[in-house]
Structure 1
Amino acid sequence: MTQNFDLGGDLRIKRMGFGAMRLPVSSLDGPPNDRDTGLKILRRAVELGVDHIDTAAFYYHQDGAAANEMIRAALSPYPSGLVVATKVGPYRGPDDPIPSGQLKASQLRAEVERNLTELGRDRLDLVYLRPGGMEDPSDEPIGERFEVLAGLREEGLIRHLGLSHISRAQLDEARTIAPVAAVQNRFDVTQPQDAELLAVCEREHIGYAPYFPLGGFGIPDDAVVNAIAARRGATVPQVLLAGLLALSPVLLAIPGTGSPDHLEENLAAARLTLTPEDLADLKR
């Protein structure tokens, strides 16, 4: 199993990365996490070889730190080869625990510039357009908004473009405008409902980074995964992550955590080798 992926054909990254969503807060209605702990997690992640961090300007706690600010504070000046991906599209008001609306095409430049400023970068490595909310992806046209990001890519403010929480029709529409380097949809080995889109990404060498690689709202209590974890002497999250990496060479794991111990546990999953029996069970 290859450990690397060439994002957009020219950015080589390890397939095990880190998601920053849980750095400021661990749950929607929870208190802010300790900022110093978050900074230590980011630095330790890079020490352990992480070279792909996923973030967004709307990852913040109303009474605490924001993911982008923490990434800059912990890692700037950034080490060579570190890829930082972010998302634009959702709008979050000052008192909203999660984004409650969508930015218009005319507002996307300001949101990209906000990410540049918060992260302290001259160019963003990867920017995903997320055109919808928490409901299932739709076939709503996204061309006008994606064209704005494509223009910023031509200006040199963005290196590669991606799409998050989208349908096959939206991927096809975007690819008529500009290359798509990565997709970020919901997917884990217990809920492989996006297998058709994953197959498209694999055929077209588009990275696929599930935004809920560990189930999202709690670790799944899945009998098959539990059994594999028991016979491999691994944890359930490790099996979930190793299963993703084994499923397709374009899958990129971006587990997030506010716990230093969970960081070590998650990253160790890249070294867990599942047997053909394990993989057959996961593909049930």
Structure 2
Amino acid sequence: MTLETDPQVLVATLNAYFETMQRIIFRTRGTVERFGGDSILAYWGIVDQDPQAAAHALRAALAMQVEVFRLNPQLMAEGKPPLQVGIGLESGTVVAGDVGSAERHEFTILGDAVNMASRFQGLAGPGEIVAGRGTLAELRGSLLHVPLPPTSVKGKSERVRVSAVCGLRVDSPATRGGLRRYELAAPGHLDLGQGPENTIVSGIEFGASGQVIVEAVSPYDPQPGTPARIDFAFPRSATALRCEARALSDLNHETTMLPTLSVADSELHRLRFSVVDPQALVAALRQGFPAGEAGAERPPPGP
């Protein structure tokens, strides 16, 4: 983007991007280490003790991908280039402290986890989140992820285990009563009867009674009960998902719904849909994330 973009447009685009991403990082108890060109280095669980640091980092990564989808139409309407973001995550021991000289020093973090996160970011394609074995181990049993072939990275003599992370099971007060909720960032299409539009599926809930709720982003604000067709797929996954559903509500206008990490000042709407045939969707998800996959949480049984 740097070579193809007018410098003033580039700076304005990066500022809009950094502002949005930084707000997500702060809301998940993260710290921005530095901005480097068009990249951000952030960390969790160092400035303060956070036993959920890995989960907070992944929640931030998923929310970032959703926000990039929401931000791009605004950027393009202003004549700015759309953004394509890949994210790398790793968990582990680091050294943190002031580094530099008497004239100039800064607080920074050093260590293998920092280096690997940067390497994994280089492996991630647009819209993807690639995590290493440290993060996979921390979140074992809570992830929807697609294991990738062992990969050679700079600084490691042996190939390393990485996965494309697709979703995270989130425990919150809203999970009472047998509800399971996953935060996602799955691109797809949403058809509300006016033809398919690009969307991103940002969440899915499985109720104890068998009801399944899908959250998706749309430029439209349909009336409750409006029929919809949702097609979506996870990064690096061969499983394509389709479901018929009916509109329930717009999360942008509801303060009593499940808390969202996303910035709700976009012209797009975060919509909730009740899936008409939840059993079929659950079966497709279970096929895409089979039991026994290392660290993979398997979606709950259908009704």
- Higher RCO, 1 or 2 (CA under 8 Å, sep at least 6)? 1
Bigger Rg over Cα: 2
| TM-score, length basis structure 2 | 0.27
Instruction: Considering fraction of residues, name the structure with more helix.
Output: 1
| TM-score, length basis structure 1 | 0.28
